[in-house]
Structure 1
Amino acid sequence: MFIPDDQGASASTGGFAEPPDNRPIPHENVRHMLFGRLSVVQATIKQLHHLNYAEPNDWSKPISTGRPNEVMAILTKRVNIT
């Protein structure tokens, strides 16, 4: 969420907090792939957004798989390793 500077908030650092000793938090990328009809893929992306898992614009544009009425969308998400 963006809070204007005039409300006393500082700029975001991308959502990754530093541990107390200032060592970077280890992370890896995970890739999610959705396959199905365009309407079902879009509905799933909206539901994952509603659950605060991923922003809709973070997904690729739907890509045809070559199968009738089937597309795929890809999301690469950075996750912290604890």
Structure 2
Amino acid sequence: MSARRITSTVDLFLATPVQSSLLAIGPLVLALGQLVNSYVNGVSPLVSLAFAIVMVAFAIVATGHHAAEYRLRRLERDLSQ
């Protein structure tokens, strides 16, 4: 990962911490909770693993969309000044 991309992600979390956390960290916590829940209750690991994979994919796509939206708003703000 390049230094520019890391800086962009840090800027995103600093600008909108709640929304960024809900989109990036929330699904990952939910996936981990589902994996632990399936282990504790003896549910098939295939079901919970599929759910975890989908939640990780959702976190990646949602965070990318949120980052693009943030960059667009910042660009529009810079152009209007």
TM range (shorter): under 0.3
TM-score (norm 2): 0.26
Higher strand share: 1
Higher helix share: 2
